[in-house]
Structure 1
Amino acid sequence: MRALVSARLGADFTRLWTAAAVSTIGDGVTMAAGPLLVASVSDDPALVAGAVFAQQLPWLLLALISGAYVDRLDRRRLVVVVNLARAAALAGLAATVATGTVTVPVIYAVLFVLGVGETLADTAMGALLPAVVAPDRLPSANARLYASFTIGNQFVAKPLGAWLFVVSAAVPFGVDALTFAISAALVAGIRKVPVVDEPRRRSSLRDEVAAGVRWLWRHRLLRTLAVSMGLSNVAFGAAFAVFVLYCRERLGLSAVGYGVLLTAFAVGGLLGTTVAAILTRALGSATVLRAGLVIEVVTHVSLAVTTTPWAASLVLVVFSVHAMVWGVTVTSVRQRVVPPRLRGRVGSVYALLDLGGAALGSLLGGLLASTWAITTPFWIAAVAMAVITGLAWRPLRDAAAA
């Protein structure tokens, strides 16, 4: 069955999908081993937290600029070069770990380089997909990409990364370097695809970024989806920034119980990738997107009122199914609607809103929970999502024709 689906999507998609799956495992390995490495060098909590920020910072600084370069350059070649650069950076980090010369600034520098690479390669991969897959196959293709991320990053890579770090601190970073090299080779095997769909005069970088933002803002459906996603991530980030404390104080879970509850996200995400394309075909994009917003409201209300771990886990599974279905549907709609010459820039705006909303929400969530009750962020998130749902309801009907 897998071979049959791959055949329908084409050999180029198989290479792209395999490249994404391999690098996803490598990313997960580094995500698990990176904090362990920083903690082995310094026991300062601020320095450990700074490692995560060092990899996220490029998205906030460079997302829009990277999107413009993705639209300027050969996307296939860009992914190859960036993955080789990330492989070299990780190999260098592995060498410093193996020789006992690693320092916190070195770790930060490598993580920053990896983050810069993500802004380019991830945006380019998203823009490249519609060039190798027919429009009607995009939901299935995106679902397979999301599934490989869920399985590889959530289930396989993180425990593997922690285990490899115990075996030898340098090994996980060497493994990640190898995955990027393999990914580069696979993407290099994709047939050459055009960068744009029409010749155009080269503008300044600032003008090109502005053109992408203007195009998105003038498209009612995509503007609605982008703003809804950004605001939803503020609500989500605020609620789940204190989730570990919520599990302990509200649900009475131990650290182990908290870890088990988190697997509900992965289970729901995997289930969501299997039904996303089916639901979109059966119900239509507009119905799926509207239902997703309602599910978000119900999720926050349910978590605010429940004190039972099994009920919370069920809510998280349903929410994670929705998150995957929403992601696959929105990505497929965007890839069909946005002209090829603008896919990088429009995709980068989405990425900026995604991370920016989550980051702002995390700051607000901690403040709200410390000022009032642990459930306050969930109640505020529920009200915010109800307002967003009401405002987005009518514009989302345009998704039926996208």
Structure 2
Amino acid sequence: MPLGSSYWKLWTSSGFSNLADGVFTIALPLVAIQLTQSPSLIAGLVVAARLPWLVFALTAGALADRLDRRTLMLVANLVRAILLLALVAVLLLGISSIWALYCVAFLVGVSETIYDTSAQSILPQIVQRDQLSRANGRLYAVELTANQFAGPPLGGMLMAFGAIAGFAVPATLWLIAVGALFLVPGKFRIDRLNKTTLRVDIAEGLRFLWHQRILRTLAVMTGMINFASSAGFALLVLFAVGPTSQMGLSGVGYGLLLTTSALGAFLGSFIAERLETRLGRSRALTLAIVGVSAFVGAPAVTNNPFILGLIFFIGGLLVVLWNVITVSLRQRITPNELLGRVNSVYRLLAWGTMPIGAATGGLLAHWLGLQTMFGIMGLLTLGLLVLMPLLTNAAIDAAEDPPPST
């Protein structure tokens, strides 16, 4: 069954939005290392960008179940564009400050919590339940290709023209994404039988996730994966870029290195559904953990860009496999009227660890060195295998079918 025109308009908007994300994610640290070489301050930028998932995620989820989800996505991208245009204006005035980058990173992160929570919640209103794995796979294809394949090298090349180009282009891309999403017809606000407070709404989402052992376990595991990966990748720029770094890459070379993971992710987005069916979800998740641990820990043992590129390629493929399985499962298990809040609670656990991981990585790198930090985070990720007995295929099937009612 075709996914439909509304889905493909959403897909197009998501592509432009994630291309903007990819450019901004590369431009931000490349500008920052021109202002400071402190590992703690560089890692602090990731803390600022991810902190909203710790402090604002639950509110974002409640809003996604109260308001029109498409409208929330439109407003979030418009705000992100305005923030970057304001940063361009500041740079044109000759003001260069790491603290201005911190401020913009935090506010862009707040907008991201609203956009991403609404984006994952709107999909079951656009496609059928049995289409979710395919729809999520295609979305991951464009999102990860734009965010990690096209975005990083584009960001690196734009930085050759200066910070203004590095920030003006993603602002323009977010505005294009707004235009594409505006073409999606229909209303995406959930009908509510009773008026309740935000606190009551948030508590209902918390209770639902707490009583779903499969979702609760996956949220904790994803949180630990993101903790470790944020610690590593917040400081990868110091490991890879510059003549005094271990790899000695240029900004463009750094973008190309990250592109290898995007290539793997692109392939993974098309074969994830097939791997899920052939391996079974439990075995596929186990394989993903092993791959992600190598993805995070590889810089501990080598600085060869070709070896790291291969490992990043495989890691990118397996990250998508993990995401397609877990996101589709969450969308199938959760009633639509609760999906925004459950997504936000899940992401609080899964993404709220990212600023903590980035801060921890900065401290460990300062005390023990970059490569030791990478090794610790790789082993921490591999340790998640001890939780896999909770995620048998039988347990996953029982949680998914029949779907619970409110």
- Counterpart check, 1:116 vs 2:110: yes
**Distance of 2:317 and 2:63 partners within structure 1:** 33
Report what 2:25 is aligned to.
31
Deviates more, 1:375-384 or 1:179-188: 375-384
Q: Is the 8 A contact 2:24 2:155 kept in 1?
A: yes
What CA distance in whole angstroms lies between the structure 2 residues aligned with 1:149 and 1:265?
13
Alpha-carbon distance, 1:170 to partner: 1.9
Q: 1:220 pairs with 206, 213, 218, which one?
A: 213
CA–CA distance in structure 2, aligned partners of residues 43 and 247 of structure 1? 16
Cα separation, 1, equivalents of 2:28 and 2:295: 31
Report the equivalent of 1:254.
Answer: 247
- What letter is aligned with 2:384? M
Aligned to 1:390: 389
The residue correspondences of 1:46-195 to structure 2 (distance < 5 A) are 47-101=41-95, 103-195=97-189
Name the CA distance, whole Å, in 1 between partners of 2:232 and 2:155.
28
Aligned-partner residue type, residue 265 of structure 1? S
1 CA distance for matches of 2:364 and 2:95? 42
Q: Deviations over 1:326-380 (max 9, x none)?
A: 1011111111221111111111122222223344445556777856993862674
Given the superposition, is the C-alpha separation of residues 127 and 368 from structure 1 closer, same or farther in structure 2, using an over 3 Å criterion?
A: same
Q: Secondary structure at the match of 1:255?
A: coil
Counterpart position of 1:340: 336
Deviation at 1:50, TM superposition (A): 3.6
State the shift of 1:229 in Å. 2.0
Q: Give structure 2 stretches of 5+ with no counterpart.
A: none
- Matched residue type, 1:277: E
Q: 1:357 aligned to 345, 353, 360, which one?
A: 353
- Normalised by the size of structure 1, how large is the TM-score? 0.82
Going from structure 1 to structure 2, the CA distance change for 1:32 and 1:368 (only over 3 Å counts) comes to: closer
Quote how far apart the aligned CAs of 1:64 are.
1.1
CA distance in 2, matches of 1:101, 1:334: 45
State the alpha-carbon separation in 2 of the partners of residues 174 and 212 from structure 1. 38
Task: Report the Cα distance in structure 1 between the residues aligned to 2:382 and 2:161, rounded to whole angstroms.
Answer: 48
What TM-score do you get using the length of structure 2 for normalisation?
A: 0.82
For 2:27 and 2:378, the matched residues in 1 are separated by: 35
Quick check: 300-309 or 150-159, which moved more? Answer: 300-309
CA contact (8 A) 1:235 1:384 kept: no
Contact 2:18 2:144 in 1 (8 A): no
Q: Letter of the 1:207 partner, please give it.
A: V
SS at match of 1:190: coil
CA-CA distance at 1:212 after TM superposition: 0.5
Task: Please report how far the alpha carbon of residue 164 of structure 1 lies from its aligned counterpart in structure 2 after TM superposition.
Answer: 2.0
Aligned-residue CA RMSD (Å)? 3.6
Cα separation, 1, equivalents of 2:111 and 2:117: 10
Q: Which amino acid letter does the alignment assign opposite residue 357 of structure 1?
A: T
Give the equivalent residue in structure 1 for 2:200.
207
1:103/1:320 CA distance change after superposition, 3 Å? closer
Instruction: Check the 8 A contact 1:79/1:120 in 2, yes or no.
Output: yes
1:397–1:240 CA distance, 2 compared to 1 (3 A): farther
Distance change in 2, residues 1:25/1:315 (3 Å):
closer
Contact 2:228–2:378 at 8 Å: present in 1 too? Answer: no
Q: Cα 1:237–1:30, aligned 2, differ >3 Å: closer, same or farther?
A: closer
In 1, are the aligned partners of 2:43 and 2:359 still within 8 Å (CA)? no
Identity of aligned residues (%): 35
Per-residue deviation, residues 15-53 of structure 1 (Å, max 9, x unmatched):
11111100111122222222333445x336355444333
Q: After the TM superposition, which residues 295-310 of structure 1 pair with which residues of structure 2 at under 5 Å, given as runs? A: 299=294
